[in-house]
Amino acid sequence: MKFLRNNNMDVISFLFLALVVLYSLSLVSAKPAMFQQDFKVTWADTHLKHVEGGRAIQLKLDQTSGCGFASRYKYLFGRVSMKIKLVPGDSAGTMNSDTDTIRDELDFEFLGNRTGQPYTVQTNIYADGKGDREQRVNLFYVDEVPIRVYKNHEARGIPYPKAQPMGIFSTLWEADDWATRGGLEKIDWSKAPFYAYYKDFEIEGCPTPGPLTCASNLRNWWEGADYKELTPTQTRLYRWVRLNHMIYDYCTDKSRFPVIPPECRVSTY
């Protein structure tokens, strides 16, 4: 799982790698941190377990509770990367997600599935407190393929999430009222407990508290030209994903949005 955000970027990019289960690869060589260096448990510590000598964690969901964790700091710009092994087999109704006032937020939600069916990843973007920008794609075998792009159109009066620091939050919880096929598929508690695993935690960015703004500096690798926009190859792959694997796009949902949202009227590659 990965997202990139910096103060010179024209786009926010979501990229994924899925090979049997969902994983993420680093874009640069860096030593992954131990969980306790950058993260803390936020709820139900009895359901979160350190494994592999603290290099990985196990999240558990049963009928008593789910659990969650968060970064110790918030960040204005940079990169977040970690490897995730989703709940295997029949996980309908379970959900891994990143989750209050006026906020900026980049939201990933991995929706549970029935055995043999693909996982669905839902992304959403909040800017200046407004969300409702959901897109969903079925996971597939990919490597460094962008599945969601949100371009900066502030010049057109469209909010862009760059001013507020963001923390990293992740949870495993029950959401069978809507998570799988709109709530038609319920959790099969006979298969509980459900487990998800996280490892290779990497955060590179501008933490707060500290200066209210992070000065632009091209020595920050994430502010280089390679991360300002998609490459021609990434653009081609992004269009391929939208054509072959996107199963929902709020921009085309006329029942929710009779008037097309303003960001949907402008080019997104």
Encode pLDDT of 26-61 as tens digits.
Answer: 233 345 667 888 899 998 999 999 998 888 999 998
Residues 6+ apart with CB under 8 A from 254: none
Structure-block tokens of residue 36: 């306790």
Q: Can you tell me whether residue 243 is helix, strand or coil?
A: helix
pTM of the model: 0.78
Determine the pLDDT at residue 22.
29
| Run of H or E including 135 | strand 135-138
User: Look-up: residue for tokens 């990497």?
Assistant: 202
- Bridge partner residues of 57 (DSSP): 50, 198
**Which residues are catalytic, by number?**
105, 109
Task: Compute the mean pLDDT over every residue in the chain, rounded to the nearest whole number.
Answer: 76
Determine the pLDDT at residue 260.
94
Determine the pLDDT at residue 243.
93
Determine the pLDDT at residue 122.
86
| Residue spans of the chain under pLDDT 70 | 1-33, 89-101, 112-116, 141-143, 175-186, 209-218, 221-222, 268-269
Encode pLDDT of 123-148 as tens digits.
Answer: 888 888 888 899 999 877 556 788 88
Q: What residue ranges define each of the domains in the chain, with the CATH number in brackets?
A: 2-265 (2.60.120.200)
Q: Nearest-CA neighbor of 145 among 247, 232, 1, 241?
A: 241
